[in-house]
Amino acid sequence: MIGTSGQSAARFLIGTCGYSYPGVPPNGWSGVFYPKSGAKRVDELEYYALYFNSVEINSTFYRPPSAEMAKGWAERTPPGFVFAVKVWQKFTHPTQLGGEAMMTKEPWERFDSQDVERFSAGIQPLAEAGKLGPLLLQYPASFVCDATTLERLAVVLSAFEKYPKAVELRHHSWSDEPERFHEVLARYGAAWAFIDEPKFSTSVRQEIAADGVLSYIRLHGRNQQKWWKHQDAWERYDYFYAGENIRRLAARLKELAGKSPVTKFHVFFNNHARGQAFVGGEDNGGPV
């Protein structure tokens, strides 16, 4: 697979979902993680890489990266640093993004080989540098498991078959009958991403597992009150993982690592409000 040969032997790749949060808290990280703006501007990615060995790039969800941009990412990070990359929304979301109502009837984006080639060309410098980790296919809560969506999932996975991949599925229909899609994931070498989030009647149910070469874990926080009802997007991710939560996660990952010696664990904290994600990431990076 592309992107794996030059990577560090590190089995635990830990970071945050995104690294650029301009401004001050609660939405920004200036003065909380990054030094306050002063006469000398800090390169955020270089600074971030002093503390973490991986990051999940989220800007690629909104538009494919340019090769020049990806080359810059690779050059500004040390050997062994790994980039997980969220795929363009054109591959995973309805044409009109908005509320995530169940069973949406919105028309889905259509993509072609040129779209795949454009996205692949953009991340190629990361692969050439040995710093490309998994691609993340993040589907909305409205993506319900049925024959049509299974076929749609298979088409996207096939388009990116040469890359390591993880798939985030949020609706409970995927965990109600997991055997319906596990065969599809296995066929294209993809992992089922584990998500920690507030749980509602419609939410997916999962346990962290390690049954292949890739385990992908995203921790969104558990702010149930603000998950669906919020004024600003950052409120949804305003949650602090206490030390006991982190210790339990670290213990579980150690247990799984002992049982599956070939698995690499990619762990990303998305509770970015008030800079809380980097606290969890640093805490998890130590004991693991």
75-110 per-position pLDDT tens digit: 999 999 999 999 999 999 986 544 443 344 556 778
List beta partners, residue 86. 136
To which residue do tokens 């990070």 refer? Answer: 77
In the predicted structure, residue 39 carries a pLDDT above the cut 90: no
Cα distance between the two ends of the chain: 26
Residues 6+ apart with CB under 8 A from 253: 12, 208, 265, 267, 288
- pLDDT over 70 at 221, yes or no: yes
Give the model's confidence band at 72: pLDDT under 50 very low, under 70 low, under 90 confident, else very high.
Answer: very high
Q: 3-class DSSP state for residue 75?
A: helix
Q: Which residues contact 241 (CB under 8 A, 6 or more apart)?
A: 219, 221, 269, 271, 276, 279, 280, 283
Helix (H, G, I), strand (E, B) or coil at 72: helix
10 vs 136: which has the higher pLDDT? 136
User: What pTM value is reported for the model?
Assistant: 0.89
Alpha helices for the chain (secondary structure H): 44-48, 67-75, 113-128, 147-159, 173-176, 179-187, 224-227, 243-259, 276-285
DSSP 8-state symbol, 275 = G
The 8-class DSSP code of residue 109 comes to P
pLDDT at res. 194: 97
Residues 17, 277 contacting (CB under 8 angstroms): yes
Q: Please check whether residue 154 is in contact with residue 188, taking contact to mean a CB–CB distance below 8 angstroms.
A: yes
State residue 241's pLDDT score. 92
- % pLDDT > 70, the chain: 88
| Cα gap 256→243, rounded to integer Å | 20
**Type and span of the H or E element at 203:** none
Average pLDDT over residues 171-181: 93
Q: Which of 112-121, 136-145, 243-252 has the lowest mean pLDDT?
A: 243-252
Of 132-141, 196-205, 272-281, the poorest mean pLDDT is in 272-281
Mean pLDDT of the chain: 88
Worst-scoring range by mean pLDDT, 28-32, 33-37, 106-110, 151-155? Answer: 106-110
Indicate the pLDDT class of residue 238, thresholds 50, 70 and 90: confident
pLDDT at 263: 92
pLDDT of res. 108: 72
Higher pLDDT, 228 or 94: 228
- Model confidence at 162: pLDDT above 60: yes
Q: Per this entry, what is the length of the chain? A: 288
Number of CB atoms found within 10 A of residue 47's CB: 14
> What CATH fold (topology level) applies to the domain 12-285?
TIM Barrel (3.20.20)
Percent of the chain surpassing pLDDT 90: 68
Angle, alpha carbons 140-190-228 (nearest 5°)? 20
- In degrees, rounded to 5, the angle at the alpha carbon of residue 240 between the alpha carbons of residues 82 and 101 is 80
Encode pLDDT of 185-197 as tens digits: 999 999 999 999 9
Encoded tokens for 69:
């941009």
Q: What's the token pair of residue 219?
A: 């921790």
Distance of alpha carbon 67 from alpha carbon 55, whole angstroms: 18
Residue ranges per domain, the chain? Answer: 12-285
Is residue 177 very low, low, confident or very high in pLDDT (cuts 50, 70, 90)? confident
CA atoms in the 13 A half-sphere facing the CB of 148: 6
